[in-house]
Structure 1
Amino acid sequence: MTGSAALPRDLHPLAWWTWAIGLATAASLTTNPLLLLLVMGSATVVVMARRSGHPFGRSFRLYVLLALLTVVLRVVFRIVFGGQEVGHVLLDLPEVPLPDWAAGVRLLGPVTSEALLAGLYDGLRLATIILCVGAANSLANPKRLLASVPPALYEIGTALVVAVTIFPQLADSARRVRAAQALRGGATSGVGRLRRFLVPVLEDALERSLALAAGMDARGYGRSGGATARERWTTGSLLLLALTGICVGTYAWLDPTAPRVLALPMLAAGASVAVLGMVSSGRRVHRTRYRPDPWRGPELVTAGVGVAVAVLAWYVSHTEVAVAYPGVDVAPYLSPLALVLGVLGTLPAVTTPVPATAPVRREAAA
């Protein structure tokens, strides 16, 4: 890359989230384990190539562990609650009798290979979505993300940013607590070590969250006390009408028996009123635009890759059903289009600039 793309800088956080949401959307449209593994590999490659040295850049390992735990639990649930007699029985467990009010629910029983594969496929899909969210959290700066949220969505944006930064804060707290305990010594195994580790980590993460909230409140972030009663009534009425129109339009669009005039026209009207309401609400929230994040070519390429991956996944799920949703009785395979879909997500690893703060390598520090 040449020009501004070659200079070290942090990519716009919305570009990373658009890319990650595109990959997560593709994962939700398939149960093919090969394609899911390719999507997971794409997310991992990009994170390893473009994560920064900030604390949130070290949170990807927690998401990997959570994804592995999800797969294991999904398979275990299939064994415990999904016993079935149809298929190739691998393990014949005794079925636990349940009362009449639990009819339709089976506890244990024969475990078939088809049930295990179905649980594995579902678990891989959930794990891929978790890994994509973890990739976005490891690449996008949460503070810059909050600064990029439109003023009208201040409350929602604040809640979302605080929610998605839980794991990064836990990762940084765990690293610092582990380093402090290594210097102090003490119990190195067993329940004592676990208690000495978990309590400080949770306490530190909670204190940092409270400090962030207190700092935002002290600076008057998002405060709109200067709005008049008329402005509040106007904004509230517009948003309420927009919500009603969107709900009615969505219901009419999903119900084929409803009048068509209540479907797309009502959705369009609700969306238009919502835009007016957000514009009116955005005027009440004043924020500084000091040093805004630029949106350049690498951001367009990264967001475009996410959109392209989602569109290709939708196309594959509708035109190549056997590839997107393979049965548990046949070996999964990939078509050329599905292979392109799985590899396309790695493109930001070479088209985006190196982050301004590179992670500290152990071999470099030695």
Structure 2
Amino acid sequence: MATRVEYLALVTSLIALVSTTELVRRGYRTRRRERALTAEATRSTLRTAAQAVPSLRSGLRPEPARKAARHLRTLLGTPAVALVTHEECLAWVGVGSSHSEQAHLLAAPALRDGRTCVVDRLDCGDPSCPIESAVVAPLTAERRTVGALIAVGPSPETTLVGATDEVARWVSAQLELAELERSRARLAEAELRALRLQISPHFVYNCLTTIASFVRTNPERARGLLLDFADFARYAFRSSRNHTTLDEELHSIDRYLALERARFGERLQFSVRVAPEVLAVQVPFLCLQPLVENAIRHGMEGKRGNGQVTVTARDAGAEAQLSVEDDGVGMAPEFVESVLSGEVPPSGGIGLANVDERLRAMYGDAYGLVVDTGPEAGTKISLRIPKFRPQTVD
């Protein structure tokens, strides 16, 4: 039979066990709450940052800067935030707007030295103004200081200095990406202009020579070919546009082929297999015509007898899959690699490298041309076009 001492010891142990268990449970609940609060704070920060991105990607201009500054103020949790360039204060959001005239002077050291700095005392003459100090962090793009982020508040706390510096780095990254997007758009436009120049010399000469041959023997045919040439030229050399519909691109190819058939006669056989649902898909301007021209110029001109060129467009869910195939003389794979890498001058591979570079610039490296060819084995050039409208400048 248990003694009283043993009974008391057992009760004490049970109480201690219950207490320990309760402490563990409380600790677990506390940690769970802390994790939940941390996760929510992270989601909130990411949402706010994401809301600022579209404005920042528009560059340092007054209206986008005002929209972005509102979100940056939320990120920093300060009474006011300002965005400044070398020329002007783009935006002041929050209290103490009377200090906006000082913003450019406050930012001068950071703009000059490219370093974060702290201004301890601000005085606008208003005793009720809550603004007493500012943290100024430089904004950079392409390795140069393009502006500054100013976070203002009652006192320059160490945490605010660090936070402002980190937010400025993130803003700089967005400005860098915006500049990269603009550079890609300029590159695409330059390549499109280069492609037009490539089309111009040999194609115009061949067309006019062919049309001239019909002027006396078949004036009506010559007139129709001139209209076809005018229609194609209007499309190919119109004002700069990065995109068109597949339907318009195929229409221009039809006009181009009318001119080539006049030159090659029955030797040139051509077929088009297009799924109707992809006709409205936006495609890069002049993405197929150079491939058709390449098939005729390099596939047929060295071949005896008739030549077949086939254009195919299939619906593949989120993408349109396009191809241009010929049964001509083909090319060595090593030659294709040199053409796409730019090692061979444009006259050696008209349009292929240009189209490949534009596709990669618009959609990413996964969307370059795929060339299946070999000596005397014909050539098939395939490309994929996402159905969404790309974020590029037309």
| TM score, norm. by length of structure 1 | 0.19
Question: Higher relative contact order at CA 8 Å, sep ≥6: structure 1 or structure 2?
Answer: 1
State which structure, 1 or 2, has the greater radius of gyration over its C-alpha atoms: 2
TM-score, with structure 2 as normaliser: 0.18
